[in-house]
Amino acid sequence: MKIYRTQAEVDNDIVDRVLEIDDHVRFEFSVVIAADIVAWNIMAWDITAWDIAARNIAARNIAAWNITAWDIAAADIVVWDITAWDIAARNITAGNIRFYAICTAYEHLSCKSIAAKRENGKYFCLDEEVKITG
């Protein structure tokens, strides 16, 4: 497991504006990542954040048990599977999306399948029709 204790340790691992994560990682401080994040599997039990702002997040699988975030702003989220409470992004391209109540995209939402845990959960895209490719 890689444990980051300072911002300088994170900055030292950023190469060509990319932080590549290929093992378990823990941040023991409030981190700012001014780079793309590339990871194969993201497993998170508890994430608490005031603002998550990312240019690009590329991952094979993202599974999160508890994400508490006031603002999540991601230009592009490209993954195979997403499991989350609620999702909001400009563009989402994914295999399977499972969410609790709301999943929204501004410009593009394309996936193999999408389902809410709540009976009256909603998903939509503002600028185009949602594309279900499965």
Q: Which sequence spans correspond to the domains of the chain?
A: 37-132
User: Percent of the chain, pLDDT > 70?
Assistant: 66
Predicted structure pTM score: 0.56
Give the pLDDT confidence score for residue 43 in this predicted structure.
64
Question: Mean pLDDT across the chain, nearest whole number?
Answer: 78
| pLDDT value for 60 | 63
Q: Can you tell me the distance from the alpha carbon of 42 to that of 133, in angstroms, rounded to the nearest whole number?
A: 24
- Complete DSSP assignment for 49-99: EEEEEEEEEEEEEEEEEEEEEEEEEEEEEEEEEEEES-EEEEEEEEEEEEE
Note the pLDDT tens digit of each residue in 100-114.
888 888 888 888 899
For residue range 16-34, what is the model confidence (pLDDT) as tens digits?
A: 988 888 777 888 888 888 7
